Structure formats: structure tokens, C-alpha cells
Chains A and B, each alone.
Chain A
Amino acid sequence: KNQVEQSPQSLIILEGKNCTLQCNYTVSPFSNLRWYKQDTGRGPVSLTIMTFSENTKSNGRYTATLDADTKQSSLHITASQLSDSASYICVVSAKGNRLAFGKGNQVVVIP
């Protein structure tokens, strides 16, 4: 079983609307959690990073939350734009040298 589960696998949203992506993990002991955005044909780019003590982090229209007790994170996209069409990958670091990757949320924004 994958240590990082993301949902929904894919979604289509209208331009200007908000959406929320979910990431549940079982990685332990937890070190930090990152959300990456990957445009088609490009490498992933880091959006946010959160450690155990942080529960909210924003980067422009992207807001990530973390509940380390329930081992859940979400990425909220506000007022979506066509350029938000991408795959969003949740990556959880364990203390030591382990990274666990989710399979990504595929977001398509339509006009």
C-alpha cells in the first residue's frame, strides 16, 4: 500500500472556481510535507513545504494545510486560472533518508 494517497485522482474545474486536493499519509516519523506542481512536459516545482509545527502555508493562490495528528494535508487553489492545469504531487519526508510520493492529482481548468 502506498504511504501517500492523493484524492481525487483527477478533476475538472471551471476557470475562476476554487478546488481542494487531499493528501493522506502514513509515513512515520514525519519530517516535512511538500506540494509540487508539475506542468505537462516539465519537472515538478515546489509550491509549499510544511513541518510538523506548521498547519497552514500560502504561496499566492495556493494554500496548503497540514494536520499532523490525522496525517492529512490539503492544497486549496483559489480563483483557478487556466495555468493551474497541472498535476499536483504530495511528497512526504520521513526523518532519515526517505521520501514517499503520492501519484498526483490531475487538475484541468476549463474556460
Chain B
Amino acid sequence: KAGVTQTPRYLIKTRGQQVTLSCSPISGHRSVSWYQQTPGQGLQFLFEYFSETQRNKGNFPGRFSGRQFSNSRSEMNVSTLELGDSALYLCASSLAGRQGAQNEQFFGPGTRLTVL
């Protein structure tokens, strides 16, 4: 079974631009979560989607948004990019469970975003 895939793997943008990142979960997984990872802050939760609905949201500004399609694939969009948005963006999928359950999350390799 193929793992979680994320595209693109690397991205360079300039301040003020917008970006869309894509995540394809493991086949059969209905929950997709997005995380931002920086050296100083570690992993920070952005949002979780389940059956095309945002189920949970972290403490990020409205410039960060996402959506999930009927095939469970998910996209994340960041508008008006800032230098501080430079990070590794990770997507994780799980079968169905809520974050607090034992339902294991499987992470993709991430998209490395650099904002100049």
C-alpha cells in the first residue's frame, strides 16, 4: 500500500505570494491533518479534515486554509506569504479516528517551503 504523498517536495516563493500544497493520504484513510514544522517551534497543528469537513483547527491566522476532496485528498493554501512561513509542512493521514484516539497517524515526507 502506498504511503502518504505530498507535492511538491520543495517550493520557493516570495513574500506576498500565495501557495497551494497537496496531500494524498493512504488509500482508505479518511482523516488528513496538516502540520507546520520549524526548528524553533517543532511540530504545530494547523488543521484536520475528515470527510471533506474541517474537524479541528490550530492557532494559525486565516491566511492558512485547507480543504479536502471526496477522494480524501487534501490541499492547504497559504496566502500573502511572510518570511516566517518558511517551514516544513507535513501532512498525516489516519483511518478515521479523532486525534485523541489510538488511531495512528502516518506522515508524508513534507513540503519544504522557503519564502524569500
Contacts and interface: CB of A to CB of B under 8 A. Distances in A.
Interface stretch (A12-20, A40-48, A73-81): A40-48
Interface in A56-75: none
Chain A interface extent, by class:
20 to 34
Contacts of A96: 98, 100
A103 B109 contact: no
Nearest to B92: A43
Interface in A73-111: 89, 91, 93-99, 101-104
B43 A94 contact: no
* Interface hub of B48, B90, B92, B99 (most chain A Cβ within 10 A): B99
Nearest to A93: B100
A26 interface: no
Nearest to B108: A43
Contacts of B45: 99, 101
A22 interface: no
B107 A44 contact: yes
Given A89-B43, A104-B42, A49 B107 contact: no
Contacts of B109: 41-43
A31 interface: yes
B63 interface: no
A7 interface: no
A42 B111 CA distance: 10
Contacts of B70: none
B43 A97 contact: no
Contacts of B105: 46
A105 to B, nearest CB: 11
CB-based closest 4 A-B pairs: A43-B107, A103-B42, A101-B43, A93-B100
23 contacts: A31-B100, A31-B101, A32-B100, A41-B109, A42-B109, A43-B108, A43-B109, A44-B90, A44-B107, A46-B104, A51-B102, A93-B100, A93-B101, A96-B98, A96-B100, A97-B48, A97-B100, A98-B99, A101-B42, A101-B44, A102-B42, A103-B41, A103-B42
Interface of B: 4, 41-45, 48, 55-56, 90, 92, 98-102, 104-110
